[in-house]
Each structure stands twice: as C-alpha cells, then as structure tokens.
Structure 1
Amino acid sequence: MSHPINVLIVEDLLTDALLVQHEVRGVLPESSFQVVETEPDFLAALESFRPAVILSDYSIPQFDGMTALRLAREHVPDTPFIIITGSINEERAVECMKAGAWDYILKDRIMRLGPAVLAALERGRERREKSWTTEALRQSEELFRNLFEKHAAVKLVVDPDSTAIVDANQAAAEFYGWPREQLKAKHVTDIHSLPLEQIKSKMRQATAEQCVRFEVRHKLADGTLRDVEIFSSPFQSGEKTLLHSIIHDITDRKKAEAALVAAKEQAEAANIAKSEFLANMSHELRTPFNGIMGMLQILRTTPLNRDQTGYVDAALQASERFTGLLSDILALSSLDAGRSALHVAEFSPADTLKSVTEMFTLRAREKGLALETAIDPAMPQTLLGDATRVRQILFNLVGNALKFMEQGAVQVRVSPLSAAVTGVSRYMFSIADTGIGIPDDKLATLFKPFVQADGSLTRAHEGAGLGLVLVKRLVELMNGSCCIETEAGRGTTVHVILPLDLPRQEAADTAREAVHPVEPKEQLDILVAEDDKLNQMFLTLVLESLGHQVTVAANGQEAVDLYMARNFDCILMDIQMPVMTGVEATQCIREKEGVRRKEEGSPSVDLQPSSFSPQPSKHIPIIAVTAHNQPGDRERFLAAGMDDYLAKPVDVREVRVALECFFGHAT
C-alpha cells in the first residue's frame, strides 16, 4: 500500500502506544497515527482523522475497548477494529468478536499486530469491494464481469434452485484445482461437505437475508478438504436470482484456533494442578510450623534466663520472616494462577492505615526510626474497596521502607487525586522514606520476582525480593497504578494510585444496631479438633493458660461425637483431618443444631458473637484454625457454617482475641 494509512490508537499508556506504532510502521512505513484515551477525543478523531484501522486497548481508566468498539460500529461500521489487551480469556475474546471486533492481539504477542493489521485492511478492502460489486451488478453486467474475472479472491456464482455452479473466476479454478469450464459444470454438492438439505437451507437464507456468512469444508480436485469461510449474497441476472459467493481459505486459521484452544486447556489444567499443589504445600508447611511457633511462644512465657530469652526471640523473629516469605510466595503464585479475586466492602482508609502502622511501631522504635502518617482532610471517611488488599499493599511498602533504613523517618500519606464524577475517584497512597534510595540502573528490574536492588552475596539486607512484585500485582488487580521517585542516598517515595468507589449515601446514613456485650465467662469448655500432635499440645497449653478447660478430638468424626455428648462453649476446628474433614464436621454439627431446635420448639436464630449464650439448642461458635490460607479459603469456610477463621501459624494473641469476640474480655 503506497498511500498513507491513518491509524487511530486508543491507549492511555505512552509506552504501549509507541510499541503499537512501532509494530504497525514495520508493515506500513507511511502510516499516520493519532492516540486518544477518552470517548470525546475518540469521536472527534473518527470524524476528523478518518482512520483506516482502529487499534484499541481493552481496558483503560477513562475509556474501554468495548465502548470504543460500539461507537465505531455506529459511526464507521466498515473500519477494521482490533482489540489489543494485556490478558484476555476465551469468554472475553468471544465477547469481543461477537461485538464486531475483527481480531484481538495479546500484548505479549505484539509481533502479530503488523500481519493482523494487513489482514484486517485486506478484509476491509474485500468487504468494501464486495459492497461495490453488489452495486455494480445492479448497474452494469459488464463491470461485474470485469471485477469477477480479475479478482484475486475465490468467487462462485451459484443457482440456489438447482445448486449448479453457474460461473467461477480464475482464482476459484486455481483454488479448487479444476479448469474453469469443468468447475462451472459442477454443482455445489460436488465440493460441499454439508448434506444437500443443509446446502439448500443456506441458499434460502442467503436469498432471504441478502447476505449470509458461514464456515464449512470444501473438497478440492485432489480430494483434499479445506476449511473455508463463505460470504454469499443474492443478485438479479435478468429474471433469475443467483448467489454471488466469496470463499476464503481459513484452514490455517482454524488450525491456529484449535492449537489455541488446546493450549488454553493445557494451561487451565496446569493452573488447576498448580493451585492444588499450592494448597497442599500451604497446609503441609503451615501445620508443623504452627506447632513450632506455638511452642516457642509458650516457651517464651516460662522462666528463662537472659540468654535463653534471646534465643527464643531470635527463633520467633526467624519464624516470622519465614511465615512472611511463605505468604508472599503463595500470594504471588495465586495471582499468577488467576485465583485472586477482589472482595469489595465498605472500609475506613484511616483505620486501615492505622492498623498497618501499628504493626510496625515496635520495629520502628527498635531501630530508632520515626513512623509518621498524614491523611488529607479531603479524604472520605469511608470507601468501597478491598481493604485486605489495600492493607497488604501498604504492609509490604512500609515494611520495605523500614528494612532499608538505619536512621530518619518513614511517612505514609493518603490523599484524593480527583473528585468523583461517576461514583469512582482515584486516591494516592504515598510511602516516603529517607533511606538509601535506589540506583537508576536498578529501577528497571525492581518489580521482577526474586530481584533486589542489591543482589550481591554481601548485601546488608535480607529478603527474597517479592515485596514490590506482590505490590505491583495487587495494584494491577485493583486496576490501579504505581510509580517510584528515588535518589540514591537521599530516599525513596512510592506512589500507589487506586480507583475506589464512594459508598452509597443511603448506606452511609443507615444507623447501626447497638451491640450489647455479654457477661464474660471465667472459664470456657472448649473442644479442639486437631489431628497434629504438636498443634494439639500448643492449643491445649494456650487455652489452659487462659484458664479454660480443653478437650481434644483427633478427627472430625470424633469432634461430632463429643459435641453430641457434651455441651461445649466453643470449638476450634482444623480443616484437613482424617475420617471427617473440619468442613464436613461443621456441616454435621449445624444440621444437628437444627434438629435440636425443632425438638425443643425453639426458633432457628443465628446469634451474633456479642449475644451468644451457650445452650444445647443454641448456635455454638466454631472457629477454623487451619493451614489453608489461599485466597477465598476464609470465605469458603465461613460459608460452610464456621463463625471465624485463624490461619496457621497462629499467634497466642489471635486465639485470645477470637475468643473475646464471642465471650467478652475475661479470656
């Protein structure tokens, strides 16, 4: 193509837009480009720029590919439209193609873009030429004959009544492998893979609807079968209605699609295997480690000399590092496997920030560092979002900042960036430190797994290099962005920008019901369902140190039997146990509670922890104490009938707090 081609790019990232331009220029050197990222600019470009092809990112903050596609179909329906996306599943791809996209390209396969653009332009040209041909047929048989004979596309003229091939161009003769006269003596049934009735049905449909598109297999002269795409439309030749069919060989495309489906199935199978492996590894590592950390915590409460106390504290610190590393690895693997989902709920940014800084107050004090927070007065009191993910992002960034500092301060600031127009605003979380900074040559690799700014064997700071990678993945999961300002020797500031909803006004105005605390119990009768001996010992010692009576069940069935025999106040339930799992045992206990209520004639009421009063027919609190700590596990166990969730390794304080939620502060 010697004339300039106008290419309209819908993209919000300059780097991605430049990459797209580079790939298109490789096949269309004289192309002109215009980049837009909002709907008004897109509509203006359609009118003034008059693009020959549109290349759109699927999801950008102010716009999206599906909206752009819909507008393009309305205003320039014949202009090729190609979706470019960072990740796309089969359902989204099908949705795009059904909506009218001509093709879709994954960003990690951007080298396909150039050929795809050429193919789209060719298809667009053929589509336009097909329309011109139909019009020309009505105006001049001679013009139609000229176009029909010389066109490079495979073309047939068919009688829908007799299925006879009335005419075929030279391209058709070359494709099917018969001389033109011999091909014109045949019927569609001689080359078609469909039964006669289906062929006639397609012809009737083409005649009635003016144009049909369908895919079948055609047989060539040598017996080879080829996948073809057929566009067939009617035209008048004298008093006879004939069908003009354009045939595209799509055999290679079908093979590629089949290979893509097979690869997708293999990837899904690999993801399932990976998820099962991660869940099993999480359980197998956390279960014994819960016992190790638990016994260390118990040992810390016994009389020890100074050296012994130091040894225990060092072991606990090493254990906490191990637990953090394990959590980061499993979280990162879950994100890679696509198993992480957002759980949107109303939360307080101030409370979230406070909960994060409280976890690091002691560490900062021990290192002689200042840990400061600043919240913009314009920040809403509540937002809608995944508070757990926000907390995880801040936890990693604050912890990272403190780790690489020997003196100075870390400041966490939160402020709004823009006012909400459609209920969604952007908020910036900034974590600034006065630490060592990051050299310019290390910035490019900073967000890669297992990479640190200082990767030498003599580095002063330990770690696996997963914190910032996890932050980046979580920010992307929340459709946000992040950037870094740094100067070696002066400090670093990490900015995280997240789009968060504002809560509905009516929800914000709804009065909360008053909570009436119950009288705390001096001693609880607690059933511990746990099959691991070391974890049995740990939980028993912890609960007895709190003044409670403990009974141990080694499996789920034993827990159900003990529940039926005695009136326990509470159950701490492991999940993975022999004979009967913790989930199965919980469901069995809930069923038996229902039977008891019916026998006693009492209403089936789910009591809140604050109003719990243990009776045979009442709801007994069941707290999951489990090594299953993958995304969605907590929600799954709560949905199964459990009331709370503690992930192994469990801290003694977590056990105390969980019991206080149900029985007051006497625990």
Structure 2
Amino acid sequence: MNDSKKTVHQDLMELAVRLLNVPAAMIALVKDDRFEVKASTGLILETFPRSASVCETIRTSDYLVSDLSPLMVCDDVSGPFLQSGYPVVSGFPIRIGPRSIGVVCFLSQERREFTDSERNSVSALMRLVTKSFETSLEEQEKERFFSLGLDLLCIADMRGYFTRVNPAFEDLLGYTSEELCSRPFTDFLHPDDVGVTAEKRESHAAGNSVLDFENRYRCKDGTYRWLSWKAIPIGNVIYASARDVTELKSALDEIHRIELERDRFFTTSLDLLAVSDSGGFFTRVNPVVKDILGYTPEEFCSIPYLDLVHPEDIERTNAEVQSQMKGSSSLSFENRYRCKDGTYRWMSWKSSPVGNVMYGCGRDVTEERQSREEIEKLNRNLITASKLKSEFLANMSHEIRTPINGVLGMVGLLLDTSLSADQTEYALAVKSSADGLLIVINDILDFSKVEAGKLDFEELDFNLPKIFKEIHQSFAFQARDKGISFHLEMGPDSMRDVRGDPGRIRQVMNNLLNNALKFTKKGEVSIRVSCKQSVHPGSSELRVEVADSGIGIPLASIDRLFDPFSQVDASTTRCFGGTGLGLSISKRLVERMGGEIGVVSREGSGSKFWFTIQLGTAVAEVVLSVEFERSFHGVFSHPVRILVAEDNAVNQKIAVRTLEKMGLRADAVANGLEALAALDAIPYDLILMDCQMPEMDGYEATRQIRLDPRFPEALLPIVAMTANAMKGEREKCLQVGMNDYVSKPAKREELYTVLKRWLAENKNSHAA
C-alpha cells in the first residue's frame, strides 16, 4: 500500500475517534495467520495473531453495516487489546466483493450504546474505508497486469517521451526503463519509420480514438524488431500496447516470396500447369496452354476437360481421376488432348488431389512418343538383324566346320596308317592347314560372342598340373618340328586342385603359345606357372608367363596389341598370318575371370606375355585320369554299340572308323527318322546325334526318343555332335533331352573322354 493511502486511512481513524468519542481505533488486514495494523490512533500495535482474536470473530461474521445498525461489540478477555487497557472492542468487517480482508475496530474501556448520529458516521466511515481498499486493489491488479503482461505496455506524453514502460520492453529491446524514458521514443525508431510514426502522432492530436500501426524499434544490440501498436490518447497522455511481430513479418514476407515464386513459376513454366475442380473444369491454367494446344487460358477453362480428351482416352482418364479423388496416391498417366486446330497432342500428366481440387502438371510428349515408337521399331529391326546374324553365323559355322571335320577326321585316320615319309609330311601339312583354318573360324565366332557379352564360363574342379602338362604336350610336336626348346616350369604352389574354367584357360594359353611359336624361329619358348593365395578369402591367384626368344614387339605397338584385329604391322600379317583377334579375345577372357593380362617386350629381343586369373578352391579331390587309352576293351561285359546320326557321308565314315579304332561297334544313319527306325531294330548304348539333318533334325529326333519310355536319359545317353558352335547351342541341345555336347571337329581325345563318361554311367545304371 502506498504512503498516500496510509495517510488517508490514518486520517479516517483519527476522525473516527473524535466522532465516536472512543479512546482508540484501528484498521487491520489479514495476512497469513496474523492481522497487520495498517492505521491506528490511541493504540501502539503492529501485528497480532488471528487465532482466538475478537477481530477474527468480527471479520468472519456476516455483520452488515447500515445507517442505523448497531456496531458489533465483543469483549477481549485475553487478547492484546485487554493488555492495552481496552477490554471492549466494537467494529465491522471490511468486505471487497465476497472476500473479507480485514476489520475496522473501535476500542474502549466499557460498553456503551452509540447514538444514531454516531452510527450514521460509522456507516459513512465504512463506505470510505471500503472504497479506499477497492481502489487500492484495482490499482494493484492493474500494476500486476502491467508488470506481467507479455505484450509491451507503455504510457507516453505528447512531447514524445515514454513516461512508463513495462518489463516486457526491457526483455525485448534490452534497454532499462530509465533508458527508454530518458530520450524521445523516436530516437529508438528505424530511420525509415520516423515519418510514419510522426503522422500517427499527429492523427492522435487531431482526435482519432484508437490507432493501429507498425514500426521498427532498435534493440540495444543494434538489431531491429517489428512492433504492431494499438494506441489511444486520454487527455495529454497516450496509452499504448505493442506486440513483437518480427517473426510474423518474416513469415509473411516468406509467404509472399513463395507466392511470387509460385506465380512466376506458374506463368513461365514450359509445362502445362493446371488446377481443376470436382465439376470437371479447369479453374486455372498457365499461359503455355496456348503454345501447346492453341487455347487461351480463358478458353481452356470454359470447356469441360473431358470434352477435349481423345474419345479413346476418355474412359481411362475419367477412371484415373476418380480413383485419385477417392484417395489414391499421386497419379501419372498419358492421354491425348485436342488442339484448337483439331489435331491431337499426347500429354503426360502428374497430378495430386487436395480436397476436391486437383493439381496437375502436363507435358507435351508427342515427339517423345514418336521417337520412342521409332526406337522400338529400330530395336525390333536390330533384334531381327541380330537373329539373322546369329542364324547366318550358325549356318556358316555348320557349313564350314562340316568339311573341316571331314578333312581333319580323314587326315587323322590317314596318319594312323602306314605312310611313307613324304606322305606323312603331306598329310601333316594338310592337317596343319585345316587346324589353322579352324583357329581363324574359332577366333571370329569367339569375337562375335565377346562383343555380344555372351561368353559362357564353367565352374569345374580340375588339377592344375594336369591341365598345363596337357597344354605343353599339345604344342611339343610343333616346337620340336621348328627346333625350338620348349619347357614347362610348375611352381611348388601350383601343384594342387583348383576350381574354375579349364577350357577358357586352355583357350588363352593356345593363343599365347600359338603366337610364341609362330614368331620364334630359333631359341626357346617357356611356360612358368605359379598359384598363390589371393587377397580374396577362399580363392587363389594363378599367374602364367609365356616367354619366347622371338622377334619381339616395338614399344609403339604394345599399347594397341590387345585391340581387335590389331597386329604389329601389315608385314606381320603377310609373313605369319592370323586374324589379329586372339590377344583381344584372351584379354576379355582373362578380365572376365577376374584377372589382367600384359606383355614385356623389346623389338628383336623376344617377348614375355603374362596373365593372372582368380581361381576357387576345389570342392573335392580331382581323380587324375590314367594315360589315354585307345580302346574300351575290358570295360564292359558286352560289346558296346554306338549309333551315329550324321547326314554327311564323309563324317559318317570318320565317326564310324574312329569309334571302331576305340574298340566300339558303330552304325551310321543319315537323319532323325532313320535313327528312330534303327532304335526299334537294335539296342544301342549311346547315340552321337548331329543337329542339322534333312527330313528330321537331331533336335526333333531327340524329343521323339525321350517321349518313348524305353529310352530315358539314364539308360540311353545322347551326345550332340554338331558343327554349330554358336551361343546357346549347348543349352538348346540339353533342353531337348540330350546329355552332352561336342563341337565338330572334335579331337579324338575329347570324344574319348565324353564317351567314357557316359558309357561308364550307363554301365552303372544297367548294373543298378
């Protein structure tokens, strides 16, 4: 309570003593468990307990003061008033609304009756005291609101100074109230806002009641905050409240920026942007609609959009839109829209619903669809061309390999007879030429497979020393004929079983050794093999080096040595022949097997080719085959009979003679129909089946055989023996029911291995 209020209350108590002719009077208010004396006369007392106090009895009574009602009188039998010499206490409670906040008491030594005049005075006194406390409480509440308000509250005068500000000013701007009130408030304004604020003050002076405006106030740290004001003048005083709207302004500015960007994007987009309602109309489209379809935005929005859709696309378009309006995710589809000139354009749409409104983005894909259709047509043509190419290569492979098979087969049989030295030389020359032609054909076919990415690789367990000894033996005769030293060095770490593709390793070695022997006139060719543990768990790295003392390679030619059709120079081709594909194919094979290939060479000083590949660990121990056997005598308890289905008479003769030399009985037929008839007449242990034959080819014949319950795969092996070496031929043969595949011209050793495998299995099946 402020000092002025205390003075008023003190004056009222002194007046009460004189009017009521009592020795003492006081005003006491409740605070916690005590009464605090706020004003008194004739009594020295600051505080006393509420409990067992006559004042508490008066405060809590329902006594109401009226002009003629008697005062409530109590006897203080043990309280502080008795001790002060005033055993009689008269008084009334102070009520503010429903609350009783204290008492007004008059103290005396004895009871007495108050006159009507005295009671009227008491009633007037009570009203004054009550009003005084009501006013005081209102001021306290206002002060509390002023101090605790989150908004900025202030009072200013007409000179432009704050006379009072609440703590929210200090919290927001960082100044103390003294700093804010010591200078004109315009000193704190943003320079750009001083003029606007001055106009608002003048408007106040002109008599406008409530003003709304915004300006920026400088904080103590130099930044500015946007404040939104409401102000009202009362006399020469301005009462105002402000709210910090800095973040709101930033958010609104950002929204405005986004709206500007959206509108700019909407109007400048090269795609058709559109908004449609549930009634089937576009409500807004961007100007690009005129560039794409020829309509102005107004024209486009005036027509139901389904009226512009191609008749064949209406049902699908409507179904897509309805599905999305029912809650499906974002929609993507294509349809045709009619242009203003009557033509149609393909539109690709991406749309999404928000409530009953659909937002869509359309792109003209007419040219794109035309290009796509042309590409699809081109792809179909390419597939057809590729198929024709494959068929051509397959036919060429068959047509070329068939006579080569005849040449090599007959030469092989010829060399098994007694020949003179000259005859042997001539026969070997024929064999060498045929082998060379076969290498060229194989290079071309393999390169075609490499280019198409269709090379097959096997995963087989094999013995590393055995493979390289066989490779060494196969080239030993050629090296001996040229008088070249040729040796194989197997490292101790390479004497083991591994898992990989031995056939592809042979192919790479054949290319490297062919070149080494071809380009070495004298000296030596060597093979060095090592196999160490790889950095990859469970695998090994095979490294092979093929060194020769031949003509070497110029440094400038090494970089292109592994390119397709590349040789050192034209004279190399003239002198030594070759397609220039062998090293290119070898490089692709090595890389597919997880390795690399390279060469170290100097012109005139020989070359050393090397390669590495990754090999796995053999699953089981490889059983080494015994030295090549020339017959099957003793293997079976009955004579083995083979049926050869081959349309070429020369190849028939070669096959039959070769089988007979192995100790097998063989019959030959010219096509599939004859093979079926032969099976009905004689039980055979195995069939060598050519694939391309007249009347009924080998594929159909195999299908017919497998349909007969007498000839399951386990009891009658069928081995394809065909000149078609193209991709997929092996798979095709196995798919129709054949057991194995041999490409013509097959070496005698290869044929022996295949026959032994299947005849041995067939023997076991019969025994079971």
Name the TM tier (shorter chain). 0.5 to 0.7
- Is 1:534–2:650 an aligned residue pair? yes
CA contact (8 A) 2:336 2:347 kept: yes
Say which SS state the counterpart of residue 552 (structure 1) adopts: strand
Matched, 1:629 2:725: yes
- 8 Å contact from structure 1 (residues 431, 495) kept in 2: yes
Mapped to 2, the partners of 1:581 and 1:631 lie a distance apart of 19
Task: Give 2:696's aligned residue.
Answer: 580
Aligned with 2:676 (options 549, 553, 560): 560
> What is the distance in 2 between the residues matched to 1:252 and 1:462?
52
Cα 1:293–1:416 change in 2 (3 A) is same
Relative to 1, partners in 2 of residues 1:200 and 1:140: Cα closer, same or farther, differing over 3 Å?
farther
Corresponding residue for 2:289? Answer: 172
In 1, the alpha carbon distance for the partners of 2:622 and 2:278 equals 71
Aligned partner of 2:526 among 384, 407, 410: 410
Conservation of the 8 A alpha-carbon contact between 1:228 and 1:248? yes
Separation in 1 of the partners of 2:701 and 2:451? 33
**Residue matched to 1:390:** 505
Measured after TM superposition, the shift of residue 142 of structure 1 is 4.3
The match for 2:336 is 217
Given residue 471 of structure 2, which amino acid in structure 1 is its aligned partner? V
1:537 maps to a residue whose letter is: K
Of residues 538, 557, 565, the one that matches 1:442 is 557
Which letter maps to 2:571? S
| Contact map agreement 1:137 1:143 (CA 8 A) in 2 | no
SS of the counterpart of 2:580? coil
What is the rounded CA distance, in whole Å, between the counterparts of 2:344 and 2:566 in structure 1? Answer: 52
Counterpart AA for 2:348: E
The RMSD of aligned alpha carbons is 3.8
Quickly say closer, same or farther: Cα 1:224–1:419, change in 2 above 3 A: same
| CA deviation profile, 1:194-246 (whole Å, cap 9, x unmatched) | 316623633652783563333333333223333333232345xxxx7533322
How far does residue 459 in structure 1 lie from its aligned partner after superposition? 4.1
Matches within 5 A, 1:52-451: 142-143=259-260, 146-193=263-310, 194-195=313-314, 198-199=317-318, 201-202=320-321, 205=324, 208=327, 211-234=330-353, 241-367=356-482, 368-375=484-491, 377=493, 381-383=497-499, 385-406=500-521, 407-415=523-531, 418-420=534-536, 428-451=543-566
CA 1:141/1:426 → structure 2, altered by over 3 Å: closer, same or farther?
same
Give the secondary structure class of the aligned counterpart of 1:576: coil
Q: Which amino acid aligns with 2:422?
A: D
Equivalent position amino acid for 2:332 in 1: R
CA deviation after TM superposition for structure 1 residue 392, in Å: 1.8
**More deviation, 454-463/270-279:** 454-463
Which runs of 5 or more residues in structure 2 are unaligned?
A: 1-251, 625-631, 761-768
Is the CA contact 1:401–1:410 (under 8 Å) kept in the aligned structure 2?
A: no
Partner of 1:94: none
Give the aligned residue type for 1:561.
A
**Identity rate of aligned residues, in percent?**
32
- Name the residue aligned to 2:231: none
Q: Distance in 1 between matches of 2:528 and 2:550?
A: 14
The residue identity in structure 2 corresponding to 1:180 is: P
Q: Distance in 2 between matches of 1:477 and 1:216?
A: 46
Give SS of 1:268's match. Answer: helix
Uncovered stretches (5+) of structure 1, i.e. residues with no partner = 1-134, 597-603, 607-618
What is the CA deviation profile of residues 387-409 of structure 1, one whole-angstrom value per residue up to 9, with x for unaligned ones? Answer: 33333223222322332223233
Please give the alpha-carbon distance, in whole angstroms, between the structure 1 residues aligned to 2:277 and 2:612.
Answer: 61
State how 1:599-614 maps to structure 2 within 5 Å.
606=714
Equivalent residue, structure 2, for 1:70: none
Question: Does the 8 Å CA contact 1:205/1:212 hold for their aligned counterparts?
Answer: yes
1:480 is displaced (CA, Å) by 5.2
My pick for the range that moved more, 324-333 or 175-184, is: 175-184
Deviation at 1:324, TM superposition (A): 1.5
Shift in Å at residue 652 of structure 1? Answer: 4.2
The alpha-carbon deviation at position 565 of structure 1 amounts to 1.7
Q: CA deviation at 1:375?
A: 4.7
Partners of 1:470 and 1:185 in 2: how far apart?
68
2:372 alignment partner AA? E
After superposition, the C-alpha distances for 1:582-613 in whole angstroms (9 at most, x for unaligned) are 33334444444x348xxxxxxx793xxxxxxx
Residues 459 and 147 of structure 1: is their aligned pair in 2 closer, same or farther, counting only changes over 3 Å? same
TM-score norm. by structure 2 comes to 0.57
Counterpart Cα distance in 2 of 1:145 and 1:589: 74
How high is the TM-score relative to the length of structure 1?
0.65
Find 2:575's aligned residue among 460, 463, 468: 460
* Structure 1 match to 2:635: 520
**Counterpart code for 1:566:** I
Judge conservation of contact 2:324–2:353 (CA < 8 Å) in 1: no
Gap change, CA 1:217 and 1:375, over 3 Å in 2: farther
State the Cα distance separating 1:148 from its structure 2 match: 4.4
Deviation at 1:300?
1.9
Cα 1:576/1:319, change in 2 over 3 Å: same
Conservation of the 8 A alpha-carbon contact between 2:278 and 2:356: no
Point out which structure has higher relative CO (alpha carbons under 8 A, 6+ apart).
1
Larger Rg belongs to: 2
- The more displaced of 159-168 and 650-659 is 650-659
- Aligned residue for 1:397, secondary structure, equals helix
Cα separation, partners in 2 of 1:217 and 1:416, compared to 1, 3 Å: farther
Name the SS of the counterpart of 2:440 in structure 1: helix
Deviation at 1:275, TM superposition (A): 1.3
* Contact kept in structure 1, 2:518 and 2:576, CA below 8 Å: yes
CA positional deviation for 1:320 = 1.0
Task: Say if 1:569 and 1:620, in contact at 8 Å, map to a contact too.
Answer: yes
Q: 1-side partners of 2:479 and 2:613: how far apart?
A: 27
Residues 207, 386 of structure 1: CA spacing in aligned structure 2 closer, same or farther, 3 A cutoff? farther
Q: Residue 112 of structure 1 corresponds to which residue in structure 2? A: none
User: Residue 520 of structure 1: CA displacement?
Assistant: 2.6
Cα contact 1:413–1:431 (8 A) shared by 2: no
Shift of 1:474: 3.1
Q: CA deviation at 1:634?
A: 3.5
**Counterpart for residue 35 of structure 2:** none
- Specify which of 731, 743, 754 is matched with residue 647 of structure 1: 743
CA distance in 2, matches of 1:436, 1:520: 50
On the 8 A contact 1:207/1:243 being kept in 2, the answer is no
Q: Secondary structure at the match of 2:345?
A: strand
Contact 2:325 2:356 (8 Å CA) reproduced: no
SS of the residue corresponding to residue 405 of structure 1 reads coil
Displacement of 1:518 after TM fit?
Answer: 9.4
Retained in 1: the 8 A contact 2:494–2:529?
no
State how far apart, in whole Å, the 2-side matches of 1:192 and 1:436 are: 76
